[in-house]
Homo-oligomer: A and B are copies of this chain.
Amino acid sequence: MKKATMKDVANLAGVGVGTVSRMINGTKVKQSTYEKVTQAIQALDFIPDETARGLKRAMTHTVALIVPTIWHPFFSEFAYHVEKFLSQHDYKLYLCNSDGQSEKEVEYVKLVDQNRCDGIIAITYTDIENYISDGIPFVSIDRLFTQDVAYVASDNKRIGQLAFEVLVGSEATHLAYIGSHNLIKNRTMERGESFEGEAKKANVRFSKLDMLEPVLDNKSQIKQFLIAHPTINGIFAINDYEALDVLTVLDELGRKVPEDVQLIGCDGIKMSAERDYVVSTIKQPTEEMAKCAVDMVISLAKGEEIQKEQLLDVTFIQRGTTR
């Protein structure tokens, strides 16, 4: 049977379409009509056409999430929470994998102009700020824009400090930072900078390996570095993947973790909700970041004024790679 429209409902209930529309949108109607219409809706299995509503209201109740790839535990955890919170507000989510390519990001940003979604939450590490037509509801994650773009990020400076505190607190005497970066300024760089800053300030022995992306021979560079600095006994890696690679290399070098060397990662990734963290780590508050981003983007979509910057706190998670 063909899908029922509002007109069908109105006819069956013996009222005007306007009345049905108002009822659906929550305007109060007389009790008797309410019942008639409700019956008609049920009888016809009527479900409002969201496309038509979208056209009329110029609002889709949809948000696009742009990530480099959903196939990564940090992004998939984030996406999970974003969808959860959006869903609580009755919003739908477009999933957009950019593969880190600027052109794809730009393509997905157009979803707003096409009226396919009301706003965008994006994790990008390329240069797209120039393509964000201003005025579109856009919330960036962990990214510092020069322009007037809303963002939520975890406190990356605090991450470096915390890593320092933990390592020194458990008697590391020669610290090292191991990480990589690309040319776009993003906030993860601050992790290493503040870690280094703390070490220098406290006059603790410090070395670093900061590679320029794309990094092809990550593990061999790490190995070289660790051989060159054999006294390192406290390592802070820029993220948990890097930490896992460091762990592998340490193992190859026959160095015991955490007895000989302690290691802290960053991000707090887990393969999935019920699995454990992979190393001792500084955890980003993924769920709060998602909630924050959702609240912001919905507010922006409604044209409300918001606090454009949100910095959230991080926590240390103790696992097997520190004592």
Looking at A181-189, A204-212, A269-277, A303-311, the stretch in contact with chain B turns out to be A269-277
Number of copies of this protein chain within its complex? 2
Query: Which residues of chain B are within 8 angstroms of A96 by Cβ–Cβ distance?
Result: 83
A114 to B73, CA, bound (A): 32
Residue in B closest to A77 when the chains form the complex, CB atoms: B71
Complex Cα gap A83–B72 (Å): 15
- Main SS at interface, chain A: mixed
Report how far A241 CA is from B270 CA in the complex, Å.
12
Contact with B along A46-83 (1 / 0, CB 8 A): 01111110110000100001000111110111011001
User: Is the CB–CB distance between A93 and B92 below 8 Å?
Assistant: no
Which residues in B have their C-beta under 8 angstroms from that of A84?
A: 97
Cα–Cα distance between A47 and B115 once the two chains are bound (Å): 9
Say if the beta carbon of A312 comes within 8 Å of chain B: no
**A54, A79, A97, A271: which has the most chain B beta carbons within 10 Å?**
A271
A71–B76 contact, CB under 8 A? yes
**Which residues of chain B come closer than 8 Å to A80, judged between CB atoms?**
69-71, 97
User: Can you name the residue of chain B whose Cβ is closest to the Cβ of A241?
Assistant: B275
